[in-house]
Amino acid sequence: MIVIGELINTSREGLEEAVKNRDVEFIQDLAKKQEEAGADYIDVNCGTLIKEEVEAMEWLVNTVQEVVDVPLCIDSPNPKALEVGLEAHEGKALVNSITAEEERFAETLEILKEHDARVVALVMDDDGMPNGAEDRIRVGKKLIEDLMKAGIAEGDIFVDPIIQPIGTDQAVGEHILDAVEEITREYEEVHITCGLSNISHGLPQRQLLNRTFVTLAMSRGLDSAIIDPLDPKIMALVTAAETLLGNDQYCAGYIKAAKSGKLDV
Amino acid sequence: MIVIGELINTSREGLEEAVKNRDVEFIQDLAKKQEEAGADYIDVNCGTLIKEEVEAMEWLVNTVQEVVDVPLCIDSPNPKALEVGLEAHEGKALVNSITAEEERFAETLEILKEHDARVVALVMDDDGMPNGAEDRIRVGKKLIEDLMKAGIAEGDIFVDPIIQPIGTDQAVGEHILDAVEEITREYEEVHITCGLSNISHGLPQRQLLNRTFVTLAMSRGLDSAIIDPLDPKIMALVTAAETLLGNDQYCAGYIKAAKSGKLDV
């Protein structure tokens, strides 16, 4: 499981202030804690700052990379912010995200190629958000094919099936799971990732729905998620699921996590 | 999700004594609590009593049915105990279990037909326990076909893919999940059920593995499980998974469970 730690995002409480104030200690502490908890990427997103986003992104990448060894996920719909973030980044970053919208695809692709980055591909195009499983599969495949034609390696693509609220459409869970399964079956090296919190929008006990959904999706091929690695309940479920899905030789990772008290949830 | 409450089983601590002493209050309390917690069937198993099993089964069925409205799961490999249990049972019971072992299949089938019972079909035959996904699918399909030929309705069959420890074979989880998916795909009305605790045999934090596995299996078609309905953590995951899989119109079951505090885990 490729865990993308989601906590450094200015839409989260207290984060916009910390980034505006260039609070190095606060940001570095949050980055280190996520790495220690098992994050494989540290996401950095300062999209709420709008006009200051580009400078803030450069500062975030430099500040976080000073204290962690894992690569970063440069998270913005703004190609300028992605470019500046990738310039500052050392090693192979993940970009979140590209879409099948014609203009955004072209602009983002150029930046990806220049910096040899991996990329999250959101299954939306100029017609907007996906509707149903078929739509997700169609746009997902188009993105994979177009990215590969442009020279991006299959294993560098992370398809995001776009999570929508189960509270407004009870079929959306199955649609997403079917899309995850189909894309995984057709492209063995492609990764599937997603943010989870939209699934529970408007419902009570949101964390329960979010962590249950990541488990359901792992059973169908999801192998990455943008989550809070400091949430012991979601991390315990992910660890157990990895073991049960055969991705943990001799159950060594599970036993180690249990011994360190991480599974005591 | 068809929940089979597993707590009335003489292999569990204190139960053998309670059944030997014919402790009506203890057994009825355990039955009522499971029904209140959402069990669709109350399993009764007194297999450890061996020579007294048949009389004990008759007593258990009568004692439990006095206080619950849900049907029982008559649980024994012994056809005599099944027969006596079904004689005492009012309404349509579930029998656990039949296998593809030639003699056991014939004996149990006769009893099933006489009492119009539903049945758990364990995927083992005269060659013993299943090995891998293919074996589970082969024996599962044979059981379904043979039961249907004998007049058992497709929707009265609950295939049990037989859970084995992930600690001794890291591939066993995927084998079981693949078998669940394949059997579900081919037989839409057949149910899939299983006991869970074997999956975690020999590993720490067993409940975490058990409840994670039920979620993974629900994503692939499992629609029943033999579990402890008084365990709030497994019940919360099952409730959330049902909602996320589209089996809970308007999320009404989920919202009701949340309001009653059942999801506060």
Residue of B nearest to A199 (CA): B244
CATH tag, B2-259: 3.20.20.20
A232-244 helix and A206-218 helix, angle to the nearest 10 degrees: 20
**Average pLDDT of every residue of chain B:** 97
**How far is the alpha carbon of B176 from chain A, nearest alpha carbon, in Å?**
10
Question: Is residue B2 within 8 Å of residue B193, measured between CB atoms?
Answer: yes
Instruction: Count helices and strands (H / E) in chain B.
Output: 10, 8
Calculate what percentage of chain B has a pLDDT beyond 70: 100
Closest chain A residue by Cα to residue B258: A204
* Confidence band for A146, pLDDT divided at 50, 70 and 90: very high
In this prediction the pTM is 0.96
Q: Does B232 touch chain A (CB under 8 A)?
A: no
Domain boundaries, chain A: 2-259
Cβ under 8 Å to A: B residues 135-154: none
Distance from CA of B213 to the nearest CA of A (A): 7
Overall average pLDDT of the B192-197 stretch: 94
Vertex B180: Cα angle to B75 and A237 (nearest 5): 95
CA dist., res. A248 & res. B171, Å (int): 10
Asked if B251 and A170 come within 8 Å (Cβ–Cβ), the reply is yes
Does residue A15 carry a pLDDT above 90?
Answer: yes
Residue that the structure tokens 């013993």 belong to:
B128
Mean pLDDT of B146-155: 98
- What is the DSSP annotation of A110-147? HHHHHHT-EEEEES-BTTBS--HHHHHHHHHHHHHHHH
Biggest alpha carbon–alpha carbon distance for chain A: 51
Global ipTM: 0.95
Residues of chain A with Cβ-Cβ distance to B218 below 8 Å are 216
Task: Compute the C-alpha angle A48/A234/A37, nearest 5°.
Answer: 75
Nearest to B221 by CA among B263, B169, B170, B186: B186
Looking at chain B, which residue has its C-alpha nearest residue A203?
A: B255
Rounded CA gap, A192 and B264, in Å?
30
Would an 8 Å CB–CB cutoff place B133 in contact with chain A? Answer: no
| Best B182, B208, B259 residue to mutate vs chain A (most A CBs within 10 Å) | B208
CA B85 to chain centre: 16
Best residue of A176, A205, A239 to probe chain B, by most B CBs closer than 10 Å: A205
User: CA of B203 to nearest chain A CA: how many angstroms apart?
Assistant: 7
pLDDT digits (tens, 9 = 90+) for B216-233: 999 999 999 999 999 999
- Say whether B171 and A220 touch across the interface (CB within 8 A): no
Picking from B216, B255, B259 by the largest number of A CB atoms within 10 A of its own CB, the best residue to mutate is B216
pLDDT (tens digit, 9 = 90+) per residue, B6-24?
999 999 999 999 999 999 9
Instruction: Assess whether pLDDT exceeds 90 at residue A50.
Output: no
Phi, psi of B226 (to 5 degrees): -95, 100
User: With 90 as the cut, is the pLDDT of residue B137 above it?
Assistant: yes
Cα distance from B232 to chain A (closest Cα, Å)? Answer: 12
Contacts for B56 with CB less than 8 Å, ≥ 6 apart: B10, B19, B20, B46, B49
Both structure tokens of B48: 């450890």
Say yes or no to pLDDT of A57 above 90. Answer: yes
User: pLDDT tens digits for B53-104?
Assistant: 999 999 999 999 999 999 999 999 999 999 999 999 999 999 999 999 999 9
Is A75's pLDDT higher than 90?
yes
Contacts of B240 in chain A (CB under 8 A): 205, 208-209, 212-213
Is A250 within 8 Å of B170 when comparing Cβ atoms? yes
Q: Chain B contact for A11, CB < 8 A? A: no
Residues of B with Cβ-Cβ distance to A170 under 8 angstroms: 243, 246, 248-251
A205·B173 Cβ contact <8 A: no
